[in-house]
Amino acid sequence: MPKSKLIRIVNGRVIQGGRMEEETLWIQDGKFIDPERTFWEQRIVPDVVIDAQGMLVSPGYIDIQVNGAVGVDFTADRENIVEGLDLVSKALLRYGCTSYCPTLVSSFPSVYKELLPKLKKRQGSVRDGAEILGVHLEGPFISPAKFGAHQLETLSVSPNGISDFESCYGFKLGSASTENIAFITVAPEMSGVMEVIPQLVEAGIRVSIGHSGATTSEAERAIANGASMVTHLFNAMQQFHHRDPGIIGILGSAEYNPYFGIICDGIHCHPNSVKIAHTAHPDGAILVTDAMSAMGLSPGEYHIGNMKVDKSEDRVYIQGTTILAGSVITIDACVRNFKSFTGCSIAEAVEAATLHPAQALGIAHKKGTFRNGADADFIFLDDDLRVRRVFVAGEEVRM
């Protein structure tokens, strides 16, 4: 079949390898390609030249924890979930998010059995929006002492091991029914959960620990068993204590260095806490929005799962409480805040929303990078890290 147009990106400061470099990028068939073979060996000239005009060029942002946005809640809006996915996928592009994980909060088994067959991985495109990388199942195997904005009645334990997970989610480990699951967040101290972690990991499901009262030793054991991430660090976990710092103590471990999601809105985490985490383990930081249905909308009453919430200008609480219920920050704002809070370089801030989540998902060969063969999802940023242009599979999105 004939090749598609050959595209060349010039005059941009490309962010990769932890630094910015003035480089030329070449794209064909929605992928970054080797310019040496294309131009010098084949002597092919580009069909289209895009001038970045000195702007920063970054891989598209990746958000691995999105409960919903623009009025859509992935857990609650079950009847219109396909239309909801389309709406959110398109809306996220304006913030530079070109890939994401739809996230389901703790639910009853009937909800998972209805939704998981519909929440399928999907390629990103200008028409369909940001790529769906797989579902993040946040619960229900979490601690009732750290349930946060999850419905307490839905929480579960697994005294029968993996069979309880299979009964709850409606999948069969090792079958095609798990192929659309990216992450499962669990509390490792709950009955039967610790022993299930290696089975999930062996089946290709990544495990994150969170909504948990685990001690540091329990957290370390979970990492040793295969868990590779901490869900929204500092939130919904035992608070730091000098005698047993809980999951947070993983930051000081010489042996275990998991990735950690962090909500960088200045509300869920104090800027100094963000800086401490980055200083302790800079290569593990993953910026997540934990966005819920009110993201992108005016203040008012919304919901997360089956729980009503009230949104003010910049935060959301479970109705009638002071319990935070996800966030309304966007991923581009997280990047700007992260740089401001930590004093890190632009490249470090960008990689916390590009390379690191791709690594945590095991897809750094095709996402969060400009390497040859990777998907040509990328964004242009100004020096204030504001998103100016967005491209998915080499095509520009109309903003």
The full 3-state SS of the chain, as one line of letters, equals: CCCCCCEEEEEEEEEECCEEEEEEEEEECCEECCHHHHHHHCCCCCCEEEECCCCEEEECEEEEEECEECCEECCCCCCCHHHHHHHHHHHHHHHCEEEEEEEEECCCHHHHHHHCCCCCCECCECCCECEECCEEEECCCCCHHHCCCCCHHHCCCCCCCHHHHHHHHCCCCCCHHHCCEEEEEECCCCCCHHHHHHHHHHCCCEEEECCECCCHHHHHHHHHCCCCEECCCCCCECCCCCCCCHHHHHHHCCCCCCEEEEECCCCCCCHHHHHHHHHHCHHHEEEECCECCCCCCCCEEEEECCEEEEECCCCEEECCCCCECCECCCHHHHHHHHHHHHCCCHHHHHHCCCHHHHHHHCCCCCCCCCCCCCECCEEEECCCCCEEEEEECCEECCC
Report yes or no: 381 and 387 within 8 Å, Cβ to Cβ: yes
236 appears as a binding residue in the annotation: yes
Report yes or no: 74 and 68 within 8 Å, Cβ to Cβ: yes
211 appears as a binding residue in the annotation: yes
138 appears as a binding residue in the annotation: yes
Q: Which of 290, 332, 375, 377 is catalytic?
A: 290
23 appears as a binding residue in the annotation: no
30 appears as a binding residue in the annotation: no
232 appears as a binding residue in the annotation: yes
Identity of the residue numbered 393? A
63 is an active site residue: no
69 appears as a binding residue in the annotation: no
Q: At what angle do helices 193-202 and 216-224 cross, to 10 degrees?
A: 30
Looking at the annotation, which residues are catalytic? 290
Extract the annotated binding site for Zn(2+): 138, 211, 232
Extract the annotated binding site: 138, 149, 211, 232, 235-236, 243, 268, 324-326
Extract the annotated binding site for substrate: 149, 235-236, 243, 268, 324-326
